[in-house]
Chains A and B, each alone.
Chain A
């Protein structure tokens, strides 16, 4: 993240360019924002893990934000050596205001737990199951946290960087 575009803007420049939803969140709940990244015309808000559900609830219901549509949740692995190693990205969209934001939660490898947002949007159900399946991120409070793409008895999490691309052992149902 050395790229100059990537650097967190200073507070002055942020106020000049900050989208209205960010201002609302900063005014109401500054403690929910760990970092704001503006790059490539997109806004990313890094949210501390314990605040993700209230932050989503606020962004969904507040009249200034109205992020009523959860586009996507996807995990990412920064690399085996990195700490914190995992990211969970929430892509929010508003069907009325048509703006988008990305929320990001970073997780350490030894404690890959984050609270579920299925209570906020029902569509989070399958996205979280997919992230659990492929990255091993555990969504606490999820109603049905099972593997979704890989078989139930699969070992490991396929999209982690230390999971091999190829294997020569045939998969069997035992």
Chain B
């Protein structure tokens, strides 16, 4: 007969349970871990002694898949990484490709990219706000946030045909121009957004319970935040004034007038306030971008890379040949490597793209902001209560699709 199964030391029954540390597993099905994140918590009573995040449950080998797909086919993979900010992922990927190809993007396409990315940033922050408040116990906010987000998703659907997986940006420009009537619908939404933002503030910012649950929780100093590679609102919540839209401007962000909100305290409340203020700035940028829309081409003048118009394809032989070659064989990208960082809704989203020539990349790597921000969770959670871990995870705004890739 086989011997009795051995019990790991942390699960042994002890006489005085309150005197010992306890190891519990939080997740992967825990609703407040925003996906499939598992935390191994070592607890002393209700105090967290050690946190070990366990990730990889959603790993689907996307970076491997890029190497087997042509450049234009890779765009749809990026949608599925950070599925709350797919346009940001599209942008980082296509701009890395454009950097390798040395393409000039027309003014109108750049403006539309800025507009759509800022709308997407608001949508992403709204999901964060709704679920973060839900985790802490405020249910109502969720419905208000998703009501507003729905309007943005409708706009994105009108432009691209997809709500969560738009794949709207292409290497060399956009999939297509905005549809008729889009500007009016967008203006309608933008006019109605500031009162909604005020509603969220009324629901949460003055709420004493919410303040007590977030202020002074999950502290991280500016030096430590930089050392741990935090970026985006998590870094600005520690008082570091860093925004890649300002530091290394791309797609024309240097021409827009906006502030970079920072909060000095480095706690959950600071990160909350940074994102709330950021939505206001994104709204400001969107209004500017909408007012700057001028008629013009939305695709670069690069017939070997950019698909021709349907009309041209049906009437011009060379356009037909280019269309056939791009679809059937793809386009060759010069050998080399680039790293293209953008300010996604969650922080620095960097795409490392390496080409050996030919229609498929040799390596594509995504530096996901969620991946890096989550790695700092043990520092923030140390010494906090178990219930506060939930608040801290919410304040990091992680998306597991991007972490596991």
> Which residues of A approach B to under 8 Å, CB–CB?
1-3, 5-6, 39-42, 44, 68-72, 74, 76-78, 89, 91, 93, 95, 98, 100, 102, 121-123, 125-127, 134, 147-151, 158-159, 163, 165
25 interchain pairs, CB-CB under 8 A: A3-B336, A39-B337, A40-B102, A41-B99, A69-B226, A71-B341, A72-B350, A72-B367, A74-B363, A74-B367, A76-B354, A89-B352, A91-B352, A93-B341, A122-B224, A122-B227, A123-B228, A148-B55, A148-B56, A149-B404, A150-B59, A158-B61, A158-B64, A159-B63, A165-B65
* Contacts A40-B338, A76-B363, A122-B227 given; does A91 touch B63 at CB 8 Å: no
> How far is A76 from B376 in the complex, measured between Cα atoms in Å?
25
In the complex, how many residues of chain B place their beta carbon closer than 8 angstroms to a beta carbon of chain A?
41
> How far is A70 from B338 in the complex, measured between Cα atoms in Å?
16
Would you call B362 an interface residue if the criterion is a C-beta within 8 Å of the partner chain's C-beta atoms? yes
> How far is A89 from B61 in the complex, measured between Cα atoms in Å?
20
In the complex, chain A residues whose CB is within 8 Å of the CB of B64: 158-159, 163, 165
* Contacts A3-B335, A165-B64 given; does A149 touch B55 at CB 8 Å: yes
The answer on a CB contact under 8 Å between B100 and A40 is yes
Work out how many contacts link A and B, with CB atoms closer than 8 A: 102
* Contacts A74-B352, A76-B362, A98-B248 given; does A150 touch B335 at CB 8 Å: no
Would you call B229 an interface residue if the criterion is a C-beta within 8 Å of the partner chain's C-beta atoms? yes
Other-chain residue from B65, B375, B405 in contact with A149 (beta carbon distance below 8 A): B405
What is the 8 Å Cβ interface bit string for chain B, positions 361-405, against chain A (1 contact, 0 not)? 011010100011001100000000000000000000000000011
The answer on a CB contact under 8 Å between A126 and B371 is yes
In the complex, chain A residues whose CB is within 8 Å of the CB of B334: 3, 5
> How far is A93 from B338 in the complex, measured between Cα atoms in Å?
14
> How far is A95 from B341 in the complex, measured between Cα atoms in Å?
14
The answer on a CB contact under 8 Å between B335 and A71 is no
In the complex, chain A residues whose CB is within 8 Å of the CB of B376: 123
Would you call B180 an interface residue if the criterion is a C-beta within 8 Å of the partner chain's C-beta atoms? no
In the complex, chain B residues whose CB is within 8 Å of the CB of A159: 63-64, 363
> How far is A1 from B354 in the complex, measured between Cα atoms in Å?
12
Would you call B324 an interface residue if the criterion is a C-beta within 8 Å of the partner chain's C-beta atoms? no
In the complex, chain B residues whose CB is within 8 Å of the CB of A77: 363
What is the 8 Å Cβ interface bit string for chain B, positions 34-59, against chain A (1 contact, 0 not)? 00000000000000000000011001
In the complex, chain B residues whose CB is within 8 Å of the CB of A78: 362
The answer on a CB contact under 8 Å between A126 and B56 is no
In the complex, chain B residues whose CB is within 8 Å of the CB of A150: 56, 59
Would you call B256 an interface residue if the criterion is a C-beta within 8 Å of the partner chain's C-beta atoms? no
What is the 8 Å Cβ interface bit string for chain B, positions 214-236, against chain A (1 contact, 0 not)? 00000000001011110000000
> How far is A71 from B405 in the complex, measured between Cα atoms in Å?
18
Chain A proximity of B258: nearest CB distance (Å)? 17
Other than A123-B229, A150-B59, give 9 A-B pairs with Cβ distance below 8 A.
Answer: A40-B338, A69-B226, A71-B229, A74-B352, A76-B362, A77-B363, A89-B339, A102-B337, A126-B372
Task: Name the 10 nearest CB pairs between A and B, nearest first.
Answer: A123-B229, A72-B367, A74-B365, A98-B247, A126-B375, A149-B56, A149-B59, A76-B363, A122-B227, A123-B228
In the complex, chain A residues whose CB is within 8 Å of the CB of B61: 158, 165
Chain A proximity of B264: nearest CB distance (Å)? 16
